Structure 1
Amino acid sequence: MAVRVMIEPYSADWAVAFQQEQGRLEACLTAWSPEVQHIGSTAVEGLGGKPVIDIMVGFSDEEGLSAAVDPLLKAGYCYYPCFEEPPFRDRRFLARLQDFPATVFESPEDFPDRAVHPPVFHLHLLRRGSPFWQRHLAFRDYLRRHPITRDAYYRMKVKLAKGVWESHNDYAKAKTAFIRRVERLAELEG
């Protein structure tokens, strides 16, 4: 099924939505003392993107990472074990979908219609300090410090969004080369 990606101009509401959800997540997961970070385009002031708040929740060990799934399901998040294939075996992915109850999705065929139940929050549960953790924070922070790169990324996303994609993953893959270059620049800046 072909999909279109909608890129919106930056909204200060994204930071407010993150802060509110951060408080809920910290209360829900207090037993594991997680570190909650706002990542992705919505975390960079001035950068437009899809209006989905991406959040990384970092744990000190595997026990917290796995144990956190049940309280998050009870809090209304959907869990996607189907996304725990390599290279994401050490990450748990959850999402809060608009007007959709907490569900465990074993297969992409079970996903609800994204147009009817769009994601509001994406949660990436992982170990603090993991390569995924470090890359996402470095990318976010580089874009925050370098408005020219941030603006180039936005222009690229707007251009890509004009196309029709097989899936949202195909759109994400089209951005990979740019993201890897920025990650390398962040690494060099060090």
Structure 2
Amino acid sequence: MAVRVTIEPYNVAWPAAFQEEQARLLACLSDWMPEVQHIGSTAVKGLGGKPIIDIMVGFEQEKSLNAAASLLVEHGYCYYPCFEEPPFRDRRFLALLQGYPSTVFESPDDFPDRVAYPPVFHLHLLRQGSPFWKRHLAFRDYLRRHPITRDAYYRMKVKLAKGVWESQNDYAKAKTAFIRRVERLAELEG
């Protein structure tokens, strides 16, 4: 099924939406005292992107991830264990879908229509300090410090969004080379 990607200009409401959800997550997950970080395009002032707030929730121990995912399903999130294949075995992915009840998706065939039930928040539960954790923070922080790179990334995303994709993953893969270059620059700046 063909997928279209919507890229919106930066929205000043994105940080406030993150902060509100961060407070809710910290209250819900207080037994673990996780670190909650705003990542992705909505976390970079001036960078447009898909209007979905990406959030990383970092735990001290990986064994906390399953219990936290189950608790978040009780609080309205959808859980995607079908995404826990390599290289993401150490990450739990959840999403809050507008107008859709909490569900556990064992297969992509079970996903609801993204247009009818758009994601509002994407959650990535993982161990603090893991490679995924470090990469995403380094990428975000580099774009925050380098507006020329941020603007180039935005232009590329707008151009890619004009196409039609087989899946959201195909769109994401098209950005990979750019992201890897920025991650390397962040590492060198380190």
TM range (shorter): over 0.9
Normalising by structure 2, we get a TM-score of 0.99
The equivalent of 1:154 in structure 2 is 154
The equivalent of 2:128 in structure 1 is 128
Establish whether residue 103 from structure 1 lines up as the match of residue 89 from structure 2.
no
The equivalent of 1:82 in structure 2 is 82
The equivalent of 2:176 in structure 1 is 176
Q: Which runs of 4+ in 1 moved over 3 A?
A: none
1:73-108 C-alpha deviation (Å, 9 max, x unpaired)? 011000000000000000000000000000000000
Distance 2:165 2:154 in 1: 18
The equivalent of 1:112 in structure 2 is 112
Root mean square deviation, CA, Å: 0.4
Shift of 1:63: 2.2
1:42-80 C-alpha deviation (Å, 9 max, x unpaired)? 000000000000000000002221210121001100000
Equivalent residue pairs, number: 190
Establish whether residue 69 from structure 1 lines up as the match of residue 56 from structure 2.
no
1:124-166 C-alpha deviation (Å, 9 max, x unpaired)? 0000000000000000000000000000000000000000000
Distance 2:66 2:164 in 1: 36
Distance 2:97 2:166 in 1: 21
Unpaired runs of 5+ residues, structure 1, are none
Shift of 1:178: 0.1
Distance 1:13 1:75 in 2: 23
Establish whether residue 59 from structure 1 lines up as the match of residue 43 from structure 2.
no
Distance 2:61 2:30 in 1: 14
**Percentage identity across aligned positions?**
81
Normalising by structure 1, we get a TM-score of 0.99
